[in-house]
Amino acid sequence: YPRVSEAAKTLDINIQRAKVARESVKYPNSQSFSRQKYL
């Protein structure tokens, strides 16, 4: 089911972005902040 995998991919990307965003808030000067740009 391609639609399911697409939704799962999108969800995974959103989770990763949320994680990086939280990290950049916690550690604004760390590498996690620069990683946010590449997502």
- Domain residue spans of the chain: 2-38
The kind and range of the H/E element at 12 are: helix 2-26
Question: What's this model's pTM, rounded to 2 decimal places?
Answer: 0.48
Q: Are 18 and 6 in contact (CB under 8 A)?
A: no
Q: Which of 33, 11, 9 lies closest to 21 in space, CA to CA?
A: 33
Any idea which residue has 């995998």 for tokens? 5
pLDDT in tens, 3-36: 889 889 999 999 988 888 887 776 656 555 555 5
Q: How confident is the model at residue 1 (pLDDT cuts 50, 70, 90)?
A: low
